[in-house]
Chain A
Amino acid sequence: MPKPSHARPLSPHLQVYRMGLPATLSILHRLTGMVLYGGCVLWAMVLVGMCLGSSAAVYAILHTPLGYVVSMAWVGALYYHLLNGIRHLFWDVGKGFELSQAYLSGWLVVGFTLLLTAGTWGWLLAV
Chain B
Amino acid sequence: MTSQLREASAALSPKIKAVAPKAIFDRNAILNSVLTLWWAQTEGSKIALLPYKALGYLKNGEELFSDYRSIPIDSSDRFTKVVDMWADRLELKGCYNWRYRKA
Do A and B interact with each other, yes or no?
no
